[in-house]
């Protein structure tokens, strides 16, 4: 079974990685599809978002990282996928996700959406919280992998400050 795990991944979080790894052990093929979105201005350009994911996932054979633009339903058809996979953290995620799933199904009736419930320890994590905490110099070691934490701090602070922060949060 081939599933697509779509998202903005701006940047990838520990929650995303947990879902991707669990999906890799459940399905034959997992396509991590990074949205190239011209409407939302991302903090990380598409190439950087892909590079971070590839670095973190290179050792999982059945996971591929790709970029997509336009409608997810069109990309799904193009990839001949069997399902879209999304993570569910909270009841509000569920409300949003069921609407998205229904919309995608109406755009392409063959499109099925599957959900994996996020592990409790990751349920408060989002890319936007990671960006916000990083912008204030807070500890993001529990939100994103260390390689991502360094790149995230670099968006807001000079190199020496970043290295000092990485030491402080023991994320090296």
Catalytically annotated residue among 49, 86, 89, 165: 89
Q: How far is the CB of 69 from ligand PNS (least distance, A)?
A: 8
Our CB check for ligand PNS shows the closer of 70 and 167 to be 70
Instruction: Name the residue number minimizing CB distance to ligand PNS.
Output: 7
16 is catalytic: yes
Nearer to ligand PNS, 128 or 168 (CB): 128
Q: Which two tokens stand for residue 160?
A: 């020496």
Are 35 and 152 spatial neighbours (Cβ–Cβ below 8 Å)? no
Active site residue 155: no
Minimum separation from the CB atom of position 132 to ligand PNS (A)? 15
Distance in Å, CB of 43 to ligand PNS, minimum: 13
Q: Return the closest-CA partner of residue 152 out of 20, 13, 7.
A: 13
Query: Where do the DSSP E strands lie in the chain?
Result: 2-7, 29-35, 63-68, 83-88, 113-117
Q: What H or E segment, with its residue span, contains residue 78?
A: helix 72-79
Residue with Cβ nearer ligand PNS (131 or 165): 131
Site residues for ligand PNS per CB under 6 A: 6-8, 35, 71-72, 100, 103
**Is residue 171 left, alpha or beta, with left meaning phi > 0 and alpha meaning psi from -120 to 50?**
beta
Which of these is catalytic: 8, 49, 86, 127? 127
Query: Among 90, 70, 77, 81, which Cα is nearest to 32's?
Result: 81
Residues classed as catalytic: 16, 40, 89, 127
């Amino acid at each position: 079974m081939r599933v697509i795990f779509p998202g903005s991944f701006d940047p990838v979080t520990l929650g995303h990685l947990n879902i991707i790894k669990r999906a890799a052990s459940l399905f034959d093929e997992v396509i991590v599809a990074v949205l190239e979105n011209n409407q939302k201005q991302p903090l990380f350009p598409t190439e950087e978002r892909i590079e971070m994911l590839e670095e973190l996932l290179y050792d999982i054979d059945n996971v591929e990282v790709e970029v997509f633009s336009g409608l997810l339903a069109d990309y799904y058809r193009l990839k001949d996928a069997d399902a879209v996979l999304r993570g569910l953290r909270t009841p509000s995620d569920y409300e949003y996700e069921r609407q998205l799933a229904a919309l995608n199904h109406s755009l392409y009736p063959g499109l099925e959406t599957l959900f994996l419930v996020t592990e409790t320890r990751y349920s408060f994590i989002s890319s936007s919280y990671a960006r916000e905490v990083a912008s204030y110099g807070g500890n993001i070691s529990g939100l994103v992998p260390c390689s991502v934490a360094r790149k995230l701090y670099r968006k807001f602070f000079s190199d020496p400050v970043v290295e000092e922060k990485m030491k402080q949060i023991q994320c090296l």
